[in-house]
Amino acid sequence: MHWNFNQLIIYNHLQSELLKLNNTGIKLIQIENISRSFKKSNIKALSGVTFNVEKGESVALLGENGAGKTTLIRIISTILKQDSGKCTINSFCSLREPDMVRKSIGILQGGESGLYDRLTAWENIEYFGLLHQVKKETIHKRIKLFTEILEMEDFIHRRSGTFSKGMKQKTAIARSLIHDPEIVILDEPTSGLDLSASKKVQDFILYMKENGKSILFSSHNMPEIMKVSDRLVIMHKGKIIDSGTRNELETRYKMDMENTFHFLTGERR
C-alpha cells in the first residue's frame, strides 16, 4: 500500500497522540545548571542553564545572536564540554557516555550545511548512515523516503558542490536523521532559506514531531516557532530568562509572543 505525504502526516499524528499518552513525563533531554565560558575571548556563553525536553515534545530555543543557543546545542551534541552542570540525553551522561549520546541524537548544525562538495546528496547521507552503523539496505530505504518527503528527487544524485542553500539544507536534514534518532536537534534550520524551502523544512519538522521525535531547535523566526514548537525557552546573554508554552508566556506578560520576546530581551534586562 502506497500512502501519500498527507496520509502519512494524518497517520503519524494519530500515532503520536497515542505515544504522547504513553510517554508524557519521560525527559529525553535534561539540562541541569550548565555553565560554559570561553577563556580566550573572555565570554561567559552559558550561565546556570536548566531545562528539559520531554519525549515527543518540540521545544524552541529563542534568543538573539550571542544568547548561547549554539553553545548549548554543541554541548548537547558533545562537541563542547560544559565547565559545570549536567547534561543527560536519553538517560546518557554527555561527559561519561558521549558515544551513546551521539547515537541518540540527530543534529543539524547552524550556518553552513557542512556537506562534502564532491559527493552527491545520496553519498553524503549514506556516509553518515554508515558512520552511525546503520545497515546499507536500511540507509537506502530511508534515503528514498527522505527524498520523497523533502522533494529531493531532482538533485539526490548530483554532487552537492553545485547545490542551492535550500538543497544543501534538505540534504543536511536528511543526513542528520538517517540513523532514525529519538532526539532531533536543529540549529536555525531555515536560516537563509527562501519561503518555499522554509515551508518544506517546517513541514518536515512537523512530520518528525508527529512521528514521535523529540525536537529541540533554535530559530529567530517567530512564525516558524509558533508553527512547530510546543514550548519556548527564551535565552538572553547565556541565561534562560523564561520558558513556557506560547499561551502561558502571552498570558504572563499580557502581550503577544513577539512583544514578549522583545520585552524580555530588551535593554531593561
Partner 1 sequence: MNIKTVSVIFRKELKETLRDKRSFFISVIFPVILFPLIFSVLDANIRKANTRIRDSFEIGLDEKKGAFAGDFLLSQNRFTIEKNSPYSKLKEGKVYAVVKSDVASANREITIIFDNSRQQSITAAAELAALFKAVSESGPVGRSSGFIFRQETLYSSSTGSSMLILSTLLPFLMFVFAALSPVALASDTGAGEKERYTIEPLLATPAAKTEILAGKYLCLNVMGLIGTVAFAAGIIISTILTPDVFGFEKLEIYLNLSSAVLLFISAVFLTMLFSSAELLLSLAARSPKEAQILFLPLMMVTMTAGYSTSVIDPLNIENIYRHIPLLNISILIKEFSLNILDFRSSALTFTWVIIYISICLLFSKVLISRETIVRRE
Query: In the set 15, 81, 180, 252, which binds partner 1 (CB under 8 A)?
Result: 81
Secondary structure (H, E, C), 66-128: CCCHHHHHHHHCCCCCCCEEEEEECCEECCCCHHHHHHHEEEECCCCCCCCCCCEHHHHHHHH
Q: Should residue 107 be labelled a site residue for partner 1 when binding is judged by CB under 8 A? A: yes
Q: Should residue 128 be labelled a site residue for partner 1 when binding is judged by CB under 8 A? A: yes
Cell 519561503 identifies what position? Answer: 195
Stretch that binds partner 1, among 88-96, 124-132, 222-230, 231-239 (CB under 8 A): 124-132
Stretch that binds partner 1, among 2-10, 82-90, 110-118, 229-237 (CB under 8 A): 110-118
Stretch that binds partner 1, among 10-18, 109-117, 211-219, 236-244 (CB under 8 A): 109-117
d(CA 3, CA 120): 27
Crossing angle for the helix pair 121-131 and 136-149, to the nearest 10 degrees: 130
Q: Should residue 40 be labelled a site residue for partner 1 when binding is judged by CB under 8 A? A: yes
**Which residues are registered as beta bridge partners of 175?**
none
Cell of 121: 546528496
> Looking only at Cα atoms, what is the longest distance across the chain?
59
Q: For partner 1, give the closer residue by CB, 139 or 249.
A: 139
Map the footprint of partner 1 across residues 170-209, applying CB under 8 A.
172, 175-176
Map the footprint of partner 1 across residues 43-72, applying CB under 8 A.
none
Which positions touch partner 1 (CB under 8 A)?
38, 40-41, 74, 77-81, 99, 102-103, 105, 107, 109, 111-117, 128, 131-133, 172, 175-176
